[in-house]
Amino acid sequence: MTHVGFISLASCCLPRLSFTKRRPFAMAALGDDPIRDWILSEGKATQITRISPVGGGCINHASRYDTDAGPFFVKTNRSIGPSMFEGEALGLGAMYETKAIRVPRPFKVGTLPTGGSYIIMEYIEFGASRGNQSVLGKKLAEMHKAGKSERGFGFDVDNTIGSTPQINTWTSGWIEFFAEHRLGYQLKLALDQYGDSTIYQKGERLIRNIAPLFENIVIEPCLLHGDLWSGNIASDKNGEPVILDPACYYGHNEAEFGLSWCAGFGGSFYSAYFEVMSKQPGFEKRRDLYKLYHYLNHYNLFGSGYRSSALSIIDDYLGMLRV
């Protein structure tokens, strides 16, 4: 069985003790082995019986620690500081607190004495399948409904989408947030990385003119997983859905479906979802806008194979909006 906590950067179309909301994770003190120290103290174990590698990630090293207090899941990165894992832990903790859908419970983020960082979290055994899509749709909608923010759109920390920085500066308006911190950031990255002035200029023209797509709807900041594709969806041994490796922020609930092109959501998923969260006017017209963010990110992460999909969406919207 594979644990649910590894980060996967493979293209999705190629291949606790306590958590206090909105409070930074306490850093573990440096020691010879802070992971072992935590497990044998705050983790309530008296012995570690086995440490075994868990495959699947290509940024971090993942391991299962078997102990007499049960198993723990540990990810380490020898070259990156704790900010990436802190963002993951805060996202997992926020989703966990909604009590709507199962996620690995985060326990500790810390620095390694030899450099790098680690995260310790709950170990969840995968079941034999990804679970029932209707149940997934219902529970995801319940998470969106329960997870609200009074601060607007954003998150307490910046995090990553794959290995791309994701800026989560609190913003009062959704259109402004999505235009600047999602599409705008990715367009600038494409310009800097590839010198792609065509996609940058057309994309900038689009984001200056997206307001009509949001007419006659009310957008509340909902807690989003943020990176919901098939590799981040599983089920536990009881068949209950589990979601993992988040890139959380508070945003328009429809943005959660931006990776639907590699998440495998079917009709039963959407039917169950919209029984809990009402479908708003213009949903179909906005779907590709949210896909665009992830196509641009795939372009920036994996190269030109995703450029045509991103550019096609931009051109279609420019035609639809007549700008």
**Residue 226 counted as domain residue:** yes
Q: What is the Cα–Cα distance from 5 to 246, expressed in whole angstroms?
A: 10
Residues 285 and 160 in one domain: yes
Q: CA 21 → CA 18, 126, 202, 256, distances in Å?
A: 10, 27, 39, 21
Residue 10's pLDDT band (cuts 50, 70, 90): very low
With 70 as the cut, is the pLDDT of residue 14 above it? no
DSSP secondary structure string for all residues of 4-64 = TT----S-TT-------TTSPPPEEPP-S-HHHHHHTTTT--S-EEEEEEE---SSSEEEE
Task: Provide the number of structural domains found in the chain.
Answer: 2
Residues 83 and 193: their CA atoms lie apart, in Å, by 24
- In this structure, are 309 and 167 located in the same domain? yes
SS (H, E, C) 149-197: CCCCEECCCCEEECCEEECCCCECCHHHHHHHHHHHHHHHHHHHHHCCH
Place of tokens 């209950």: 240
Question: Over the chain, what is the mean pLDDT?
Answer: 91
Q: What is the pLDDT of residue 129?
A: 75
Would 21 be classed as within a structural domain?
Answer: no
**Domain assignment present for 4:** no
The answer on 287 and 223 residing in a single domain is yes
Q: Residue with structure tokens 């190269």?
A: 303
Give me the CATH number covering residue 117.
3.30.200.20
What percent of the chain is modeled with pLDDT above 70? 89
* Nearest C-alpha neighbor of 252 from the set 166, 143, 153, 163: 153
What is the rounded CA–CA span in Å between residue 320 and residue 323? 8
Asked if residue 141 and residue 260 are part of one domain, the reply reads yes
3, pLDDT greater than 50: no
Residues 54 and 181 in one domain: no
Q: Which of 306, 255, 264, 235 is nearest to 11 (CA)?
A: 306
pLDDT band at 128 (very low <50, low <70, confident <90, very high): confident
pLDDT, tens only, 82-126: 999 999 999 999 999 999 999 999 999 999 999 999 999 999 999
Between these two residues, 128 and 291, which has the higher pLDDT value? 291
At 31 the pLDDT is: 53
- 112 and 149 fall within a common domain: no
Q: Is the pLDDT of residue 57 over 90?
A: no
Same domain for 115 and 181? no
On whether residue 209 sits in a domain, the answer given is: yes
- Residue-wise pLDDT for 211-222, tens only, equals 999 999 999 999
Range(s) of the domain holding residue 273: 133-321
Average pLDDT of span 283-303 = 98
For residues 200 and 53, state if they share a domain: no
In tens, the pLDDT along 20-48 reads 334 444 444 445 899 999 999 999 999 99
Are both 197 and 251 inside the same structural domain? yes
User: Measured between alpha carbons, how far is residue 155 from residues 18, 265, 309 in Å?
Assistant: 20, 26, 29
Residue 24 pLDDT? 44
Residue 240 shares a structural domain with residue 308: yes
Strands 106-111 and 27-28: parallel
Q: Please give the positions annotated as active site.
A: 227
For 115, counting Cβ atoms within 10 Å of its Cβ (0-12 exposed, 13-18 middle, 19+ buried), the class is: exposed
